[in-house]
């Protein structure tokens, strides 16, 4: 059944896409528009390269990323045997950047994925149930949403303690309210559509209506919004590691590498900037890909 697009209410970061009745023709048109977006395609290729690097990075690294040599510490970029120099302990920077891609992307993607699953479930439940249930759920969500993401992540990580698992939990809690608000807004609109009312009048159960008629219309906008949070998650995860609240040494992770190299910024500034450059490139790539996907799914044009 075809329906017209409906504007969804905006969140603080960006507005979710309109909810429409999804069809194979719609998704073909989305892929077509995405294929014509050169910026999005370029960003997608960068993201794909980073994902491949995360998978096969340990086999591509030219040296052991954990092998230290105090006699070769802070070698400049282009030194013999150290294409991108060495860090404060004499470890090969190229190898640590390559191997660190896996952990850095894991810290950026996992919280968003978990928040997508949890936040979508909470928002869809609140949006479809409405009434008192909606009020109770969304006012509870608003308590967490009221805090700035950075402060909430630091506070939660400080309370839970440093470590990968605690950082993942903290960042997931940060993103759940944001995704839940978008999911609730889109579900509330879909709930009032004619095809949902017709299914309800035919005697279909609430679970069946949500599974058949609601999920297909709301997961797309929620997913697109969630992809825009990946760059934020990557930056926050790196920030927690930089502050000593995330990944612990000697693991190669870009935020932690920034922290350990901060004292070398006056000696080898280019060397100290390499992890930050990786964070910047990755964040920009995910942002551009998310923008392209959002534009492709906006079927108004």
Residues above pLDDT 90, as percent of the chain: 52
For 120-149, write each residue's pLDDT tens digit.
999 999 998 888 988 999 999 988 888 888
Structural domains of the chain in order of their starting residue, each with its CATH number: 26-64+82-297 (1.10.3720.10)
Q: Is residue 156 scored above 70 in pLDDT? A: yes
pLDDT of residue 241: 93
Residues above pLDDT 70, as percent of the chain: 90
- Bridge-partner residues for 82, per DSSP? 79
What pLDDT band is residue 299 in, cutting at 50, 70 and 90?
low
| CA–CA separation, 230 and 37 (whole Å) | 20
SS3 of residue 284 by DSSP: helix
What pLDDT band is residue 24 in, cutting at 50, 70 and 90?
low
Q: What own/partner pairs with CB < 8 Å and gap ≥ 24 does 45-51 have? A: 46/281, 46/282, 46/285, 47/282, 47/285, 47/286, 47/289, 50/101, 50/105, 50/282, 50/285, 51/105
Over residues 19-29, mean pLDDT: 59
pLDDT of residue 147: 87
pLDDT of residue 254: 94
């Amino acid at each position: 059944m075809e329906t017209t697009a409906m504007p969804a209410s905006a969140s603080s970061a960006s507005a979710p896409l309109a909810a429409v009745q999804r069809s194979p023709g719609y998704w073909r048109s989305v892929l077509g528009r995405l294929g014509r977006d050169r910026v999005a395609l370029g960003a997608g290729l960068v993201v794909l390269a980073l994902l491949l690097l995360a998978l096969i990075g340990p086999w591509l690294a030219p040296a052991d990323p954990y092998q230290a040599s105090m006699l070769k510490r802070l070698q400049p970029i282009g030194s013999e045997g150290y294409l991108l120099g060495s860090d404060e302990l004499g470890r090969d920077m190229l190898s640590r950047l390559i191997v660190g891609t896996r952990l850095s992307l894991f810290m950026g993607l996992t919280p968003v994925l978990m928040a997508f699953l949890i936040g979508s479930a909470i928002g869809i439940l609140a949006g479809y149930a409405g009434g008192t249930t909606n009020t109770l759920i969304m006012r509870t969500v608003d308590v967490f949403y009221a805090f700035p993401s950075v402060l909430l992540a630091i506070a939660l990580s400080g309370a839970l303690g440093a470590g990968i698992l605690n950082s993942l939990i903290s960042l997931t809690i940060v993103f759940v309210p944001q995704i839940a608000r978008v999911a609730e807004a889109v579900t509330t609109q879909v709930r009032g559509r004619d095809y949902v009312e017709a299914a309800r009048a035919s005697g279909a159960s609430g679970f069946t209506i949500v599974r058949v008629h609601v999920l297909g219309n709301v997961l797309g906008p929620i997913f697109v919004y969630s992809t825009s949070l990946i760059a934020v998650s990557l930056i926050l995860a790196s920030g927690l590691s930089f502050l000593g609240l995330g990944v612990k040494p000697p693991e190669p992770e870009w935020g932690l590498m920034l922290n350990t190299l901060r004292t070398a910024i006056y000696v080898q500034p280019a060397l100290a900037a390499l992890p930050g450059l990786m964070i910047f490139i990755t964040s920009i790539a995910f942002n551009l890909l998310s923008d392209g996907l959002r534009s492709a799914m906006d079927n108004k044009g």
